[in-house]
């Protein structure tokens, strides 16, 4: 604080050099009249301005870093999923390249979409996707476009690795595949006659199989399954054998197709644990325990034999209640010695002249349909029966005929579990 005074008599101003109190000055003691001027700091508005400025500085000091961090987090939230998805796709591509080195040709999705003209010519479809016909590099092919989540990466790899690493005249040939982002496609050899179910269920068709053609198809299926079970380094259980999975070429040669539900079994394993999968009507009783062997395919094969002989579906709810299930119908006809009634063309000359062969084929189906999997034949034994090297023993037939009460109990539980907990397969 600066202080100065003024002598009122002559107007002279002077600095006050000593600190004093105005109250202590007695007017009568002063030898001059004086006025004191005090210079003081007025802090009301200034201090308010300073305080506001300080607040602004604090707010800025807090807001700027917070805003920067928030913006950074938003950027990370936007970019991270994209980069993660990109890295995941790259990792999957790398994994496919490692796992499938030496496997069939890998095609781009764009090439397959282009060659199928935008997937326009559809051959068929089912639970796992649709099949399209087209020419690829001058070769007629069937492109299977897998859809939805029911067949994911694991199932896709199972199919590619399984069928891509084996080759047999009665197994469908995998030419190539596509594994690009979420797209999963399989390129198979083209089978001009389509799937077996189109021929055996269509009673309106003018073309009917003669008995020799039916026998040939059954033998081809057996040879394809035998190779899967006994001819590969690791045993392969198909787990979804049915007419929709059997494809026919121009000469009605049959090939087993679609390995999306297949299971690899080590040779030293007696059984494997797996969740129920397949199609109702073709599933063996042991699926109730989830402990299965390749004999589940033998059971399904037995059902397919009956369908080929009878020309009807294994479960047909359009029929009277006692005839809905083809296995019960077979048991009834065999017990009443009415075998020939089960034949699709039981009035044709071809069927009548081959009655004994037809009955032997039904007995083979009975052997394959034994409740106890250990009592079923191997597929190599089935081939021997089909080729006439051995015959089905009578006690096996009796075992099938006496299993009625056991089967009915198992089927009730069985169909319930299939509806509730299985991986069900649709058409090819």
Last residue of a domain, one of 173, 189, 205: 189
Collapse the DSSP code of 145 into the 3-class scheme (helix H, G, I; strand E, B; otherwise coil) and give the result.
Answer: strand
Give the end-to-end CA distance of the chain in Å, rounded to a whole number: 101
Q: Which two tokens stand for residue 83?
A: 């980069």
**pLDDT digits 0-9 by tens, 275-328:** 888 889 999 999 988 889 999 999 999 999 999 999 999 999 888 888 899 999
In DSSP terms, 236 is beta-bridged to 264
Is the domain of 264 the same as that of 115?
no
Burial 37-61 (b: 16+ CB within 10 A, else e): eeeeeeeeeeeeeeeeeeeeeeeee
Q: Which two tokens stand for residue 237?
A: 């259980």
Is the domain of 370 the same as that of 309?
yes
Residue 193 CA to residue 113 CA, distance in Å, equals 24
Catalytic residue, chosen from 91, 137, 240, 350, is 240
Annotated active-site residue 240? The verdict is: yes
**pLDDT digits 0-9 by tens, 10-60:** 556 555 555 555 555 555 555 555 566 666 555 555 556 666 767 777 777
Is the domain of 272 the same as that of 315?
yes
- Give pTM, 2 decimals: 0.73
Residue with the bigger pLDDT between 413 and 351: it is 351
Instruction: pLDDT band for 376, please (50, 70, 90 cuts).
Output: very high
Last residue of a domain, one of 138, 163, 189: 189
Q: Which two tokens stand for residue 52?
A: 């506001």
Is the domain of 315 the same as that of 233?
yes
Radius of gyration of the chain (CA): 43
Collapse the DSSP code of 247 into the 3-class scheme (helix H, G, I; strand E, B; otherwise coil) and give the result.
Answer: strand
Residue 242 CA to residue 314 CA, distance in Å, equals 10
DSSP calls for 170-215: TB--EEEEEEETTEEEEEEE--TTEETHHHHS-TT-S----HHHHH
pLDDT of residue 209: 82
| Residue 364, C-beta contacts closer than 8 angstroms, at least 6 positions apart | 302, 305, 382, 385, 386, 392
In a domain? residue 45? no
Which domain range does residue 19 map to?
2-39
**pLDDT digits 0-9 by tens, 201-244:** 876 555 678 899 999 999 999 999 999 999 988 899 999 999 99
Instruction: Give the CATH number, domain containing residue 203.
Output: 1.10.510.10
Is the domain of 175 the same as that of 212?
no
Is the domain of 214 the same as that of 175?
no
Residue with the bigger pLDDT between 398 and 322: it is 398
Is the domain of 312 the same as that of 163?
no
Three-point CA angle 419, 283, 389, nearest 5°: 170
Closest of 164, 251, 211 to residue 344, by C-alpha:
211
The four Cα atoms 187, 192, 197, 201 give a dihedral, to 10 degrees, of 160
Collapse the DSSP code of 23 into the 3-class scheme (helix H, G, I; strand E, B; otherwise coil) and give the result.
Answer: helix
pLDDT of residue 405: 46
Is the domain of 158 the same as that of 202?
no
Is the domain of 259 the same as that of 367?
yes
- 158's enclosing H/E stretch is helix 153-164
In a domain? residue 260? yes
In a domain? residue 292? yes
Q: Which two tokens stand for residue 214?
A: 């039916």
In a domain? residue 52? no
Total number of domains constituting the chain = 3
Is the pLDDT assigned to residue 82 strictly greater than 70?
no
Is the domain of 236 the same as that of 112?
no
């Amino acid at each position: 604080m600066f202080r100065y005074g003024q002598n009122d008599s002559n107007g002279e101003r002077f600095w006050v050099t000593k600190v004093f109190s105005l109250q202590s000055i007695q007017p009568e003691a002063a030898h001059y009249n004086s006025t004191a001027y005090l210079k003081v700091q007025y802090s009301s508005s200034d201090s308010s301005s300073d305080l506001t400025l300080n607040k602004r500085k604090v707010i800025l000091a807090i807001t700027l870093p917070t805003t920067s961090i928030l913006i950074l987090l938003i950027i990370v939230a936007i970019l991270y999923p994209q980069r993660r998805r990109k890295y995941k796709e790259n990792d999957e591509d790398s994994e496919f390249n490692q796992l499938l080195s030496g496997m069939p040709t890998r095609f781009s999705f764009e090439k397959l979409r282009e060659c199928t003209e935008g997937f326009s010519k559809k051959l068929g479809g089912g639970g796992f996707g649709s099949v399209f016909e087209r020419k690829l590099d001058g070769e007629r092919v069937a492109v299977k476009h897998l859809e939805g989540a029911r067949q994911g990466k694991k199932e896709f790899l199972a199919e590619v690795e399984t069928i891509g690493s084996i080759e047999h005249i009665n197994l469908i040939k995998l030419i190539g595949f596509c594994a690009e982002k979420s797209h999963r496609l399989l390129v198979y050899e083209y089978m001009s006659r389509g799937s077996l179910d189109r021929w055996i269920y269509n009673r309106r068709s003018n073309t009917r199989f003669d008995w020799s053609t039916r026998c040939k198809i059954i033998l081809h299926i057996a040879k394809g399954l035998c190779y899967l079970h006994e001819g590969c380094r690791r045993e392969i259980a198909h787990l979804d054998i049915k007419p929709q999975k059997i494809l026919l070429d121009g000469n009605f040669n049959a090939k087993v197709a679609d390995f999306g539900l297949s299971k690899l079994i080590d040779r030293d394993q007696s059984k494997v644990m797996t969740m129920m999968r397949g199609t109702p009507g073709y599933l063996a009783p042991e699926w109730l325990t989830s402990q299965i062997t390749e004999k589940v395919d033998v059971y399904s094969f037995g059902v397919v034999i009956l369908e080929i002989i009878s020309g009807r579906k294994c479960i047909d709810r359009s029929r009277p209640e006692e005839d809905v299930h083809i296995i019960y119908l077979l048991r009834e006809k065999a017990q009443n010695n009415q075998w020939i009634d089960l034949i699709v063309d039981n009035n044709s000359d071809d069927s009548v002249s081959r009655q004994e062969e037809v009955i032997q084929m039904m007995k083979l189906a009975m052997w394959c349909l034994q409740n106890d999997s250990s009592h079923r034949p191997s597929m190599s034994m089935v081939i021997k029966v089909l080729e006439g090297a051995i015959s089905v023993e009578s006690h096996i037939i009796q075992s099938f005929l006496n299993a009625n009460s056991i089967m009915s109990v198992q089927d009730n539980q069985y169909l319930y579990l299939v509806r509730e907990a299985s991986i069900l397969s649709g058409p090819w």
